[in-house]
A and B are shown apart, each in its own frame.
Chain A
Amino acid sequence: MGAGELVRLRVWRGTRDGGEFKDYEVTATEGMVVLDALREAQAAQAPDLAIRWNCKAGKCGSCSAEINGRPRLTCMTRLEELPDEGPVTVAPMKTFPVIKDLVTDVSWNYEKAREIPPFAPGPKPPDGRRRMYQDDVERIQEFRKCIECFLCQDVCHVIRDHADNKPAFSGPRFLIHLANLDMHPWDTVDRTAFIKKQAGIGFCNITKCCTDVCPESIRLTDNAIIPLKERVVSQYYDPLLWLWRKLTGKAPKSTQ
């Protein structure tokens, strides 16, 4: 879709009680993103069209939606990259309850965040100056790029298709947060039991859908989830460690 052409937007309008797709037409400008087009429609044709957005620069992760069926940030999706034929379909994230139009209730994510045992560094070294080295932090810096757009949560079939799994599964976003805490050089908390039980890492069968939709290109599955799964396996299914836990009642924090 090039500048000057009419773009047909097919936008889901409705509330938690139901809704339907409605069509709007806007004129494309060079480099226009889907969020620009939605805001054009909002300003001129649908003043009460609910959209959640903040930065319009791909940094805050507010404007997540499903564009032509794919979970994406509307502010980083250029019209030019979408197919010329047919309307641009924009629907709310399916995994979360709709509040109105494209805005969903993502409070489940904030509840999951609160459950996670927080960062707890050990004592400072005698000179009072903590150190960590670039090589040691680069892998967790990848997870810390997360903008909490919740697109990985949206696409994850564990909760997308089975809302009843939500209480027992934290979703990819919080698995990478757990990996970030777990791999932090100064952290002292053993979260293996949490990762297995409350975070429900066993639900994930590594289809990598989360990695596929991440706008920050974080390799969630390979770099965070698989290593955490290995951690759980080595602590829970290793016969020697099982015996150690039975005898001592505690699990040693694994070395990395």
Chain B
Amino acid sequence: MAGREPIEAHEYDVVVIGAGGAGLRAAIEAAEQGARTALVCKSLLGKAHTVMAEGGAAAALGNVWPEDTWEVHFRDTMRGGKLLNNWKMAEIFAKEAPDRILELEEWGAVFDRTKDGLISQRDFGGHRYARLAHVADRTGLEIIRTLQYKLITLPVDVFMECTVTRLYTDGGRIAGAFGYRRDTGAFLVFAAKAVVLATGGFGKVWKYTSMSWESTGDGIALALDAGADLLDVEMVQFHPTGMIWPPGTRGILVTESVRGDGGVLRNTSGERFMFNYIPEFFKQETADTEAEADRWYEDKHHRRPPELLPRDEVTRAIFAEVKAGRGSPHGGVFLDIATRRSAEYIKRRLPSMHHQFMELAGVDITKDPMEVYPTCHYSMGGVRVDAETQETTVPGLFAAGELAAGLHGANRLGGNSLTDILVFGRRAGLYAAKLAQATTGTTALSTAQIDDAAAELLAPFAGGGGENPYTIQSELQETMQDHVGIYRDEAGMRDGLRRIEALQARARRVKVEGAREYNPGWHATRDLYSMLTVAEAVTRAAIERTETRGGHSRTDHPKADPGWGAVNLVVRKRDGAITLERAPIPSMPPALSALLEVK
């Protein structure tokens, strides 16, 4: 580089990274607390992965079933998570969820209504009562748009299409961030008193995923490199129903609302096979005949249909059914709502699904069944946070939303994510602003730090190895799909880890062509760094946890192990190497544990 290029520098109280629901809610809260706030995001505002959430946001509003309370929501969330959850987070979550949903209405959200004019609530897997506030099957869009239009009424500076590549600490606490503008390729530095990470999940590390391109785990890699602890990253949710045909659609989500609204899963001979897969843990609360299951939709005194077991259970069942040779023509199973509900009802309740299958697959779901197979959907694990404040183990660094660990334990219930981002996005913004208020001044990054970060970013332009970033990315996705997928075993994962390490070596020889202006090949090299970091962390943690629980299923350890049920698995990066440690789960106060009994 001839001379030093000028660098755009900013100083804020709070810098929020990521503009999905959690980041938007955090930025809104920080700004309302009076903090000078910036919001930095990889895409345009309003395009983040939250738009893809379909079914709804779970909150015990009690509008449809007055029996529903925070206690029941707490219980369902903990049991769905196989008790690996941070119970304090689950308690806060269940208690605050209704306020966060009602608040959206004050900001202009328009949910579907009950006959009494209140927010309607729909059934979903693992929830005792109809609990999900929804807008047809486009609830995520409604939430992100509401937050986006609330945000622009506040003095928040938005940095669209910017990628953060490094976080900086000073004396152990957060000091700022370095990144670049994707459109011009110019560098950016932020000095900040507090940073909130809200970059979402990392589903793009797998080949078949419901996630958008952005979900490359950037925040996980940033946090790990900044010295923060991760927790339970082996817990990855494969949603039971993704599209499977035609090939280009494979992985696109088919909302759980299809089952919540009466759809059932069938194998190639038309059998509702889920009745054969009811686990002991959920036997008491699950219907064992079709007649009882069908009555539940109208009368919650009956037991829930097995199609609405928590997602991990349904995913394992579909996997087993296909493996046993009872699958559909393209290697999935059938999801049938056409024979169960009227065309008018399906189009009103599931318009996006109707449109999606019609446009992309030429299937009319009011007439024919859908073909589905599990797709990578959500990461329960992530950055370890304090339940109240969402602060990570690095002072001044906060995390919220899918990126953060704890609330969902080993498996997330459908509908809990949209509420999670609201409850804990707000808390992260609130406590980041409070911390900023108590902090005097910021520390500017040194020239040496900036030069180092810039040189690292530009290295691929001069790369001599000639490796193609897109090729490495797709090989990584294949590796994770084959070796650390729905079912895992030690030998396969060890093989996977060797492949990941080889890909890491190749990624260091990656070559980028063209200029810095809006260069996706260059952007891909950054995504690749995050993805390889996450892949290694997940694989090492998955090898370590020798049991089957929630989003972590092992053929060589097919049962849950009570010993493992008592610990969270901590991942750290020290001197460039991943380390693992078991952290005992604190015991639950009797008042909370009493709520877990089946009622």
Please list the residues of chain A having a beta carbon within 8 angstroms of any beta carbon in chain B. Answer: 15, 29-33, 36, 42-44, 47-62, 76, 78, 99-101, 103, 105-106, 110, 113-114, 118-119, 121, 129-134, 137, 140-141, 144-148, 181, 184
Q: Select which of A106, A130, A147 is within 8 A of B51 by beta carbon.
A: A147
Q: Contacting B113 at CB < 8 Å: which of A53, A78, A137, A184?
A: A137
Instruction: Give the residues in chain A near B65, CB-CB below 8 Å.
Output: none
CB–CB B135/A144 < 8 A = yes
Contact partners of B110 in chain A: CB under 8 A = 132, 137, 140-141, 144, 184
Q: Do B117 and A131 touch across chains, with their CB atoms under 8 A apart?
A: yes
- The smallest C-beta distance from B264 to any residue of chain A, in angstroms, reads 24
**Is A54's CB under 8 angstroms from B360's CB?**
no
Residue B345, interface by CB 8 Å: no
Cα of A113 to Cα of B149 in the assembled complex, Å: 8
| CB interface residues, B 350-397, toward A, < 8 Å | 352, 355-356, 359-361
CB distance B517 to A15 under 8 Å?
yes
Q: Are A119 and B135 in contact (CB under 8 A)?
A: no
Are A30 and B515 in contact, with the CB atoms below 8 A?
A: no
Q: Which residues between 124 and 175 of chain B lie within 8 Å of chain A, taking CB atoms?
A: 135-136, 138, 140-142, 145, 149-150, 152-153, 160
User: Chain A residues near B249 (CB, 8 Å)?
Assistant: 31
Interface residues of B in 51-100 (CB under 8 A from A): 51-52
A31 and B246 form a contact (CB under 8 A)? yes
Q: Sorted from nearest, which 7 A-B pairs have the closest CB atoms? A: A31-B246, A48-B514, A131-B117, A47-B521, A119-B108, A43-B470, A100-B518
Q: Are A54 and B47 in contact (CB under 8 A)?
A: yes
B356/A110 in contact, CB under 8 A: no
Query: What's the Cα separation between A164 and B118 when bound, in Å?
Result: 45
Q: Is the CB of A50 within 8 A of B520?
A: yes
**Which residues on B sit within 8 Å (CB–CB) of A57?**
52, 252-253, 356
Cβ of B468 under 8 Å from chain A: yes
- B116 CB within 8 Å of chain A: yes
Q: Which of B224-250 contact A (CB under 8 A)?
A: 245-249
Output the least CB separation between A160 and chain B (Å): 20
A62 in contact with B108 (CB, 8 Å): no
Q: Which among B106, B110, B138, B214 has the greatest number of chain A C-beta atoms within 10 A?
A: B110
Q: Is the Cβ of B470 less than 8 Å from the Cβ of A60? A: no
Give the distance in Å from the alpha carbon of A47 to the alpha carbon of B528 in the complex.
14
Q: Are B106 and A121 in contact (CB under 8 A)?
A: yes
In the complex, the answer to whether A53 meets B248 with C-beta atoms within 8 Å is: no
A56-B252, A144-B145, A181-B108 given; A76·B359 CB < 8 A? yes
Q: Measured between C-beta atoms, what is the minimum distance from B82 to chain A in Å?
A: 30
Q: Which of B24-32, B38-46, B276-284 is the contact stretch?
A: B38-46
- Least CB separation from B248: chain A residue: A36
Question: How many A-B contacts are there with CB distance less than 8 Å?
Answer: 155
Q: Are B43 and A62 in contact (CB under 8 A)?
A: yes
What is the CB-to-nearest-CB distance from B445 to chain A, in angstroms, rounded to a whole number?
27
**Residue A43 contacts which of B153, B248, B471 (CB distance < 8 angstroms)?**
B471
**CB-based contact B138/A133 at 8 Å:** no
Residues of A close to B489: CB separation below 8 A: none
Please measure, in the bound complex, the distance between the C-alpha atom of A189 and the C-alpha atom of B520, giving whole angstroms.
Answer: 43
* Given contacts A42-B470, A118-B149, A119-B149, A59 and B141 within 8 Å (CB-CB): yes
CB distance from B46 to the nearest CB of A (A): 6
Q: Are A48 and B521 in contact (CB-based, < 8 A)? A: yes
Q: Which residues of A contact B593 (CB under 8 A)?
A: none
The residue that B470 contacts in the complex, of A29, A47, A118, with Cβ under 8 A, is: A47
CB pair A61 B356 closer than 8 Å: no
Residues of A near B352 (CB, < 8 A) are: 59
Task: Known A-B contacts: A54-B214, A56-B252. Give 17 more (CB < 8 A).
Answer: A29-B247, A31-B246, A31-B247, A36-B248, A42-B521, A43-B470, A47-B521, A50-B518, A50-B520, A54-B49, A55-B47, A57-B253, A59-B352, A118-B152, A134-B112, A141-B135, A147-B51
- Give 19 pairs: A residue, B residue, CB < 8 Å, sorted on A: A29-B246, A31-B247, A44-B470, A47-B513, A48-B519, A49-B520, A54-B49, A59-B51, A59-B352, A60-B47, A61-B47, A118-B150, A133-B113, A141-B110, A144-B135, A144-B141, A147-B51, A184-B108, A184-B110
Docked-complex contact B360 and A131, CB < 8 angstroms: no
In the complex the two chains form, is B518's CB within 8 Å of A99's CB? Answer: yes
Q: How far is the CB of B255 from chain A (nearest CB, A)?
A: 11
Shortest beta-carbon distance from A2 to chain B in Å: 12
Q: Which A residues lie within 8 Å of B246 (CB)?
A: 29-32
Taking a contact as CB atoms under 8 Å apart, the answer to whether B356 and A114 are in contact is no
B213 at the A/B interface (Cβ < 8 Å)? yes
A48 lies within 8 A of B212 (CB): no
* A36 to B110 CA separation, bound complex (whole angstroms): 34
User: Cβ of B361 and Cβ of A31 under 8 Å apart?
Assistant: yes
Closest A residue to B111 by CB, please name it: A137
Most buried by B among A49, A60, A105, A146: A60
Neighbour of A47 across the interface among B183, B252, B359, B512, CB < 8 A: B512
Q: A-facing mask of B243-273, CB < 8 A → 1, else 0?
A: 0011111001100000000000000000000
CA–CA, A137 and B112, complex, Å: 8
> Closest chain A residue to B511 by CB distance?
A47
Query: Are A58 and B356 touching (Cβ within 8 A)?
Result: yes
Given A54-B213, A61-B47, A43 and B518 contact (CB-CB distance below 8 Å): no
Output the least CB separation between A187 and chain B (Å). Answer: 8
Which has the most chain A C-beta neighbours within 10 Å: B45, B112, B518, B521? Answer: B518
Q: Determine whether the beta carbon of A99 is less than 8 Å from that of B152.
A: no
Complex contacts, A61 vs chain B, CB 8 Å: 47
A54 to chain B, nearest CB (A): 4
CA–CA, A243 and B98, complex, Å: 48
Q: Which residue of B lies closest to A181 (CB)?
A: B108
Chain A nearest CB: distance from B53 CB in Å?
9
Cα A146 to Cα B46 in complex, Å, equals 11
Inter-chain CA distance A15–B184, complex, in Å, is: 11
Within 8 A of A (CB), among B549-588: none
In whole angstroms, what is the CA distance A101 to B519 when docked? 10
A178 CB to closest chain B CB (Å) equals 12
The answer to whether B105 has its CB under 8 Å from any CB of chain A is yes
Nearest B-chain residue to A121, judged by Cβ: B106
Question: Are B518 and A78 touching (Cβ within 8 A)?
Answer: no
Per the bound structure, the CA–CA distance linking A119 and B105 in Å amounts to 10
The residue that A99 contacts in the complex, of B112, B118, B183, B356, with Cβ under 8 A, is: B183
- A105–B184 Cα distance when bound, in Å, is 12
* B361: A residues at CB distance < 8 A: 31
Contact between A54 and B514, CB atoms less than 8 A apart? no
A64 to B135 Cα, complex, angstroms:
25
Query: In the bound complex, do residue A55 and residue B135 qualify as a contact, i.e. CB atoms below 8 Å apart?
Result: no
Closest-by-CB residue of A relative to B360 is A31
